[in-house]
Each structure stands twice: as structure tokens, then as C-alpha cells.
Amino acid sequence: MLAASGLSGQIDPPEFLCTRSDGSAEVLSWNNVSNTCGAYEATEIYMSTDPAGPFILQAEIFDPAATEYRDDNPSGELRYYFLRYRYDCPGETVGTSQTLDSAIPATPIIQYVSVEDGDIILDWMPSVSPEVIGYIVFEVTATTFVPLDTVFGVTDYRFTPAAGAAGPGSRSFRLVAIDPCGNDSAQGTIVTPLSLTGGGGTDCEEDVVLLPTSAVLSNYLPSTSLELFVSVNGNPFALAGIFPPNATEIRYQGANDGENLCFYVEAVLANDFGRARSTEYCQLVDFSQPIRDFALYGMELTDAGELQLTYADDRVQPATVTSQLLVTSPGGQTMIFPVSDPVFGTGGTIRLAAPFEQGETVGLRIADECGREVTTNRVMPVFLETTSLVPGQNLLNWTAFENNLPGQITYDIERAIVANEGAAAGAIYNSVAMDLTATTFSDDINGVDGVACYRVIARFQPEPLTSGQSFPFRSNVSCVLPLTEVFVPNVFSPVAHQDGNRVFRPLFSNLPQAEGYTLRVFDRWGGVLFETGDPSAGWTGEARGQRLPSGAYLYQLEYVSSDGFKRQRAGVVNLLR
């Protein structure tokens, strides 16, 4: 019944309970309320055919103990009533009761049915009729309606099905509202719990396919989404995905072989009206474990020239896989190398021997027994180049570390001072700078005696940065040699007392590389007497196995200095016998 509350004053109105139809009349029922301001005179009944009025005085009842009134209504029109008292209380405000109509109670709206811990829960919106005092919960069978319970003062009902009873997903319910006059509402919509079945997760079918009976949601309040929850091996349920509210198939792609999985879905009602949970579906997964995506964090080149890759190794992966290393040139050409060593179960690090040049990128491609494969992100290591800007100041430039993953990349600089470039591999490196984001750095080494060798440490922190994970990757070692200085003797003698004076060869402050090096000795007519590409070799004063006589000879020297420039020297050397 519809109602509109009146104002309550010092003369309180009767407690208007309900109306009921009796033949061609409407019977009004109320409880009397005591007032002490003066003498009782009458109980007034007001009626209208429009809830907005106007209301007319339909009857006056002079018996203060009366609690019912019969109003003839032969046409059965819908009427609206309210009650009030008349007391001999001059100047007092007169209160009116709530307004009730002559119809039966309005049908309650069931918001949803949920299944939780084996119990069935019905939740509904209160009937809009103010005279409603309770609700009858019915179970709907194929042949009849079975009353389960009558509840008062609540808008939900929870019960545990009897042992051996039909499963929750096959049971249906409806609701009626009741008032104190014995009226009940029209029976509401039949509702059934959301049930969940499934399959898959066998052989090479990696997805567990879940089938919610989404059609039953049409009898609930509107839903905004379906949320999937999963329990793995008896652990607590956790959210595993969000899907459209009308989804009839949900694929769960996180299963691993041998897991015991249980699922349920929850329909999330609009405007936060509640959540309708489905029945549970459980399954033991028995399939060929599929390969899972994993992140390749980065790579570095070891001192032995191997490619050392670091990656995520924290997911369940198949025991048998086929692995390939992909090396792609800047022009897009990809070379494929088989990987025979295990990739998974290694702690996330593997060393591979494969040709690699600066500018190339590296990735992994892994396939499982069913032919499913994943290809990782591509990574590129840091390559460092160093040069001397001016004496005492070295410039470092390096290529950016790349892995195409969300996260933060910073660079640390380490330096070792060694006697010569050959000692760089086993040297102890000390930190020079940390947490750089640029790819260039200038180092002041004034007062340092020796060869300065450097390496860059690229540090990758994957998102979320609060995880504390950090993966370091070393660059190549690059040394800054002092500028090459050369002294070319102008005289030598194979019979000299000191060994260093018996051979003609240039003397370098630091020996140049063999590449680009040439020393030639000529006679006065331009004939070549001696030629070498070894910076440590020299001329003994012989040509074609014969000792040459004392005299002046011409030489020509070509070499590449430590600054990378090609230099030449020419002159005369005197041979003494």
C-alpha cells in the first residue's frame, strides 16, 4: 500500500495498521493511542481517491475503544485513508496518522540470491507499502510453492540446505510481503542462484573454461560486472579477473598442471546494492604444463665473450621446452641459435655462446610440448667508449641500456687504475659515480699514475619500484691510455755492449696495437731492406740473411696513437759495425 506520513502533534493520532477488503467494503484497522490533554470526543476517518487529496471526513467514531471501521466500496475503487483524534483540547495541534491505500501490499523486489559457504542467501528491497510487517520466503518446485520461513523486521534470509538436498544452483525462490490484516502481496519474480560449471584444463588445452548461468541475472537488479575468484590448492580465494555481466564463458588462463582449483563468480550489482555469489566449481588440472610469459630483464657480455641473460624465473613452467636465442641486427635481420642448456629452474640466469655485435638486440623464444610458444622482450647491453679530453680528464660515453620493460634504469661508474691495459680484467674497480640517468660522464684523474680503466653498471628496477628488486648489468671495460709518445734512435750497433742498442726499433711510452703499425727500412736507392707489423720487433742490420755494412739508412714508421689517430715518422738511422 502507498503511504504518506502526517505530522505528529500534541494530540497523537491512532496507529493506523492496515486495510483489508471484505466483500464490497474496506475494513480499516488501528491501535488506539492515549492522549491526556482533555476529554476524548471522536476518531475521524478521512478518505480520498487521490493520494494528493483533497481528503473528506468520511466518518466519525465516538467509541474510544473502537479499532476497526467498515467503509462501503461497492465499485472497488482504490481509496486512500488517514485517521486522527478529536479531543477537547483547545489550542493543541492535532496529529494525523500515516496514509494507507486500500490495495494489497506491494510486491517486494529481490535484489539477488547468493551462495556462500554452502548457504543460500536471499536479499531484497523493502516493500514500499508502509503497512508491511514481514515476508514469506517460498521455494518454487516443479509442482508447488513450499513456504520456507516467515521473517519480520529484516530484508534478507539465509539458510543451510538439508544434507542430500538438491544443489543450490537448481533451486528457485520467490517472496511475498504480509501486513497485520492478513493481506499478502502478489508473488514476486522467481529467482535462482547463479551457478557455475566448467571444463578444459586437460591435455594441451591450457584454459579452464567456466560457464556461469548469466541468464538468471536478468531477475536480479542490474549488474555492472562479473568478478572471478579462484582458490589454488585450498588457499584463500583471490580475484582472478573482471568480465562483462552478460558473459556466458570465462576463460581462466593461470592454471598449472596438478593444481586443485575452485572457482566462483560474483555479480556486482549497480549502485553498490550488493554482490551475488555463484555456486563453486572445482577441478583438478591435469594437462601438459603450458609455457608462461616471462620478463627478460637484461644482458651483459662476460669477460669470456659469452652472453649472460637475466630473467624472471618465478613462475611454474613446463619441464620440457625447446629454447632459441634470437639475435637481431639494427637492420632487422634475426639470427636464431638453439639453446641446449635449461632456461627455467636456474634462478633466472643463463650464459650462452653466440656471436654478438654492438647495436644488436637479444631475445628468447620458448616452445612447450604442445607447440605453444612465448617470445620475450628484446634487450640490448651497454657499450662503453672512453677517450681523453685533455690530460687529466677522461670522457665516458655509453649506449643506453634497453629492455622495453616498465621500470627505472640508472647507471653507476666504476674505475680501476692499472699498470697497463692488459691488467684491466683482474683489477679491483671502485665506484666513481652512482644513480646517473645520462649516458655520458667526465672523470677528473689529475694526479693519478697509471692507466684508467672503466666499466658502467646499468641497474634496472622493475615496477612497482617499491618491490626493492634491482638487476645490475655490466658494460665492457674501456681503458684510457696516455697519449702515445715515441723515441726513434738515430744510431745502433749489432755489436753494442747493451742489448737495447743492438737492434733498431722505435721506443713507445705505451706499445701501440699491431693493427695500423708498420716499420720499414730502406737503402739509399729506395729498396726495402726490412719491414714488420709487430710493434715489438726491430731491425738487426741484416737483409736477406746478409749483414749490411755500416752506413746511413732510411726508415719509415706508421702507427696508431692511443688517441686513435694514425701517425707517421720518417728519418735516417746510422748502422755501426
SS3 219: helix
* DSSP E strand stretches across 424-550: 430-436, 440-444, 451-462, 471-474, 478-480, 486-487, 491-492, 507-508, 518-522, 528-532, 542-543, 546-547
**Chain segment 45-67, per-residue pLDDT in tens:** 999 999 999 999 999 999 999 99
> Residue 71: which of 85, 84, 89, 57 has the closest Cα?
57
Neighbours of 24 (CB within 10 A): 10
Neighbours of 256 (CB within 10 A): 19
Looking at residue 279, its pLDDT comes to 94
CA angle 353, 359, 432 (to 5 degrees): 90
In sequence order, which residues have a C-beta less than 8 Å from that of residue 419 and are 6 or more positions away?
A: 450, 451
Q: What percent of the chain stands above pLDDT 70? A: 98
Q: Pairing mode, if any, of strands 491-492 and 566-575? A: parallel
Report the phi/psi class of residue 254: left, alpha or beta, with left for phi > 0 and alpha for psi in -120 to 50. alpha
- If 0-12 CB within 10 Å is exposed, 13-18 middle and 19+ buried, where does residue 82 land? buried
Q: Which one-letter DSSP state was computed for residue 563? A: T
**Cα dihedral value 545, 546, 548, 554, nearest 10:** -30
| Spatial distance between the Cα atoms of 267 and 264, rounded to a whole number of angstroms | 10
Residue with cell 523493502: 126
Three cell numbers at 571? 728519418
| Spatial distance between the Cα atoms of 27 and 8, rounded to a whole number of angstroms | 24
**Chain segment 71-80, per-residue pLDDT in tens:** 999 999 999 9
Task: Tell me the backbone φ, ψ of residue 502, rounded to 5 degrees.
Answer: -90, -15
Q: Is the peptide bond before 355 cis (omega within 30 degrees of 0)?
A: no
| Spatial distance between the Cα atoms of 528 and 505, rounded to a whole number of angstroms | 16
The DSSP bridge partners found for residue 191 are 173
Looking at residue 420, its pLDDT comes to 84
| Spatial distance between the Cα atoms of 542 and 142, rounded to a whole number of angstroms | 119
Three cell numbers at 298? 637484461
Looking at residue 484, its pLDDT comes to 77
| Spatial distance between the Cα atoms of 144 and 148, rounded to a whole number of angstroms | 13
C-alpha distances (whole Å) from 490 to each of 496, 501, 552, 571 are: 14, 11, 9, 8
Q: Pairing mode, if any, of strands 384-390 and 393-398? A: antiparallel
- If 0-12 CB within 10 Å is exposed, 13-18 middle and 19+ buried, where does residue 438 land? exposed
Looking at residue 7, its pLDDT comes to 39
For residue 177, the one-letter residue type is A
CA angle 569, 571, 577 (to 5 degrees): 130
Three cell numbers at 208? 579452464
**Chain segment 14-40, per-residue pLDDT in tens:** 999 999 999 999 999 999 999 999 999
What's CA 437's distance to the chain center, in Å?
A: 26
In sequence order, which residues have a C-beta less than 8 Å from that of residue 202 and are 6 or more positions away?
A: 286, 287
Looking at residue 2, its pLDDT comes to 37
Looking at residue 188, its pLDDT comes to 86
Looking at residue 363, its pLDDT comes to 97
Looking at residue 215, its pLDDT comes to 84
All residue ranges of the chain with pLDDT < 70 are: 1-9
Looking at residue 335, its pLDDT comes to 96
b/e code 469-495 from CB counts within 10 Å (16+ = b): eebebbbbbbbbbeebeeebbeebbbe
In sequence order, which residues have a C-beta less than 8 Å from that of residue 344 and are 6 or more positions away?
A: 313, 317, 321
Looking at residue 53, its pLDDT comes to 93
Three cell numbers at 302? 662476460
> Residue 503: which of 539, 531, 537, 528 has the closest Cα?
539
C-alpha distances (whole Å) from 393 to each of 160, 198, 379, 423, 445 are: 82, 70, 32, 21, 6
Looking at residue 419, its pLDDT comes to 86
